[in-house]
Amino acid sequence: MAYVIGDNCIACGTCMSVCPVDAISEGDIYKIDPDTCISCGSCAQVCPNDAITEG
Ligand code: SF4
Residue nearest to atom 1 of ligand 1 (CA): 19
pLDDT tier at 50, thresholds 50, 70, 90: very high
**Can you give the C-alpha Rg of the chain in angstroms?**
9
Which pTM value belongs to this model?
0.90
Give the tens place of pLDDT for each residue, 5-46: 999 999 999 999 999 999 999 988 899 999 999 999 999 999
Q: In this model, does residue 4 exceed pLDDT 90?
A: yes
For residue 54, the CA-to-ligand 1 centroid distance in Å is 10
pLDDT of residue 34: 95
The CATH number of 3-54 is: 3.30.70.20
pLDDT of residue 55: 74
**Who contacts 1 (Cβ-Cβ below 8 Å, separation ≥6)?**
32, 34, 37, 39, 54, 55
Does 4 sit in the ligand 1 pocket, CB within 6 Å?
A: no
